[in-house]
Structure 1
Amino acid sequence: MSKYLLNKFLYTVDRDPELVERYREDPRATVAMWETEYANRILNCVDGESSTWLRFDDTEREALAAHDYPALFELGAHPFLTLTLFIAMFERDHEPMGFQTEYARRLAHVSMPYPDIAT
């Protein structure tokens, strides 16, 4: 499991409107494409710099493909990153503040201390 890679996915997808829409419409294919094309790029470096070892495990891949933000939170994904990306994807489907309320409701079962979000 890589909290770093989960957070990198959430961060990079959230910053690209085309990826946000692609992830909303076809999450499984977007996760597979991102893992192949983006996972091993080094953030904030010149093109061509990359690593070779980063991959999602099956649990992470499935949580991402299912838009399962409670599971992502439990896996250690940063709650700010999940909230901002999922607001971008689903706020339009709810009344004002409706998605944020739904997010809080679906995470209400999590009690302190929260899962470790350090990477």
Structure 2
Amino acid sequence: MSKYLLDKFLFTVDRDPELVERYREDPAGTVAWWEAEEANRILNCISDERSTWLAFEDAERDALVRQDHVALFEMGAHPFLTLTLFIAMFERDHGPLEYQLAYGAAMKHLSLPYPDIST
């Protein structure tokens, strides 16, 4: 499992409003496209600089497609990255702070020690 790759997906999608909308509307297509085109792009480098070995595991891909922030956290994705991206995607469908409270309530069953979120 690559916590780095999960966090990289969440980080890069969250910083592009068009990708946020694309992920909201077509999660499976966005995850597949991102994994094929962006996963091996080296952050902060010219576009031709790429690695060749990064890919999601099936469980990671499935959690991203389902937009399941609890499963992503349990895999070690950073909760601030899921929270900021998912607020951008879903807050508009809820009242003030309603989505954030639901986000927290969905993770209420988790107890210490939390999954390691270091990369």
Q: What is the CA distance between 1:55 and its match in structure 2?
A: 0.1
- Please give the residue correspondences for 1:1-119 in structure 2 after superposition, counting only pairs within 5 Å: 1-119=1-119
Query: What is the distance in 2 between the residues matched to 1:102 and 1:44?
Result: 34
- Give the fraction of aligned pairs with identical amino acids, expressed as a percent: 71
Query: What is the distance in 2 between the residues matched to 1:63 and 1:17?
Result: 21
Structure 1 consecutive aligned stretches of length 4 or more whose deviation exceeds 2 Å: none
Alignment TM-score, normalising by the size of structure 2: 0.99
Letter in 2 for 1:13: V
Deviation per residue, 1:12-36 (Å, 9 max, x gap): 0000000000000000010000000
- Pairwise CA RMSD of aligned residues? 0.4
Letter in 2 for 1:61: R
Alignment TM-score, normalising by the size of structure 1: 0.99
List runs of 5+ in structure 2 lacking aligned partners: none
List runs of 5+ in structure 1 lacking aligned partners: none
Query: What is the distance in 2 between the residues matched to 1:95 and 1:69?
Result: 20
Query: What is the distance in 1 between the residues matched to 2:102 and 2:14?
Result: 19
